[in-house]
């Protein structure tokens, strides 16, 4: 797999979250499940490398090789109070 060819956007934010998108090469993009948003374990298993707290929150339908991530603003992995559950598509996901 071509982990070196994974590219990461700069972070951007609104008043609640910071966001980034990750562009996967074709050989890795084929492994992305189409039935559900990925857990941290799943996207790390594909070779995506980012700090803790990022949640795969949406598919970019026109370009399925682009993964969309978000995390709470001011996320602190050392502060359990920051690790709130994030509700995405009716599922509670630990951020």
Count how many domains the chain has. 1
Tens-place pLDDT, residues 18-69: 999 999 999 999 999 999 999 999 999 999 999 999 999 998 889 999 999 9
Distance CA 68, CA 80 (A): 24
Q: Is 16 a residue whose pLDDT tops 80? A: yes
**Domain containing 8 — which CATH number?**
3.30.170.10
Give the pLDDT band of residue 1 (cuts 50, 70, 90): low
Tens-place pLDDT, residues 67-88: 999 999 999 888 866 555 454 5
Q: What is the pTM of this model?
A: 0.79
Q: Which residue range(s) make up the domain with 71?
A: 3-94
The answer to whether residues 26 and 44 touch, using CB atoms and an 8 Å cutoff, is no
The answer to whether residues 22 and 48 touch, using CB atoms and an 8 Å cutoff, is yes
> Which pair of structure tokens corresponds to residue 77?
């992995």
Sign of CA dihedral 38, 44, 45, 47: positive
Q: Which residue has the tokens 């996207």?
A: 43
């Amino acid at each position: 797999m071509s982990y070196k060819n994974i590219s990461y956007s700069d972070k951007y934010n609104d008043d609640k979250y910071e966001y980034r998108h990750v562009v996967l090469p074709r050989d890795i993009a084929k492994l992305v499940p189409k039935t559900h948003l990925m857990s941290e374990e799943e996207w790390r298993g594909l070779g995506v490398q980012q700090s803790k707290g990022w949640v795969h929150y949406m598919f970019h339908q026109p370009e399925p090789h682009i993964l969309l991530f978000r995390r709470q603003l001011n996320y602190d992995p050392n502060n359990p109070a920051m690790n709130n559950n994030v509700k995405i598509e009716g599922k509670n996901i630990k951020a």
